[in-house]
Amino acid sequence: VGDAVGQSGMVVGATGSRLITARTSTCDYCGRGYPTKRCVGCSVAVYCDSRCLKAHRKVHGKVCHALAKEVSEAARCAEKLKA
């Protein structure tokens, strides 16, 4: 999936966002493996270092808030299913 959110992971919905629980193996900016940083706004985007996080900020910032809302809604739905 080549969208503004990232190049790897589980893809859901029309926005191309990945589920928070999806394990990713590549940086959302450069595509290299083993990311160690995660976006604090949405917790969806992952990066291999602070340079990639900063470089991708302009692109990711456009979808970050929407992703955070989507993740929050998914968590609420999961809680309802548990009940």
pTM of the model: 0.63
Per-residue confidence (pLDDT) for residue 34, from 0 to 100: 87
Q: What are phi and psi of 74, to 5 degrees?
A: -65, -40
Nearest to 15 by CA among 5, 23, 30: 5
- Identify each DSSP E strand in 13-73 by its residue range: 17-18, 37-38, 46-47
The pLDDT, as a whole number, for residue 33 is 86
Instruction: Please tell me the predicted confidence (pLDDT) of residue 8.
Output: 39
- Model confidence at 73, in pLDDT bands (50, 70, 90)? very high
Q: Per residue in 20-70, pLDDT tens?
A: 344 568 999 999 988 889 999 998 999 999 999 999 999 999 999 999 999
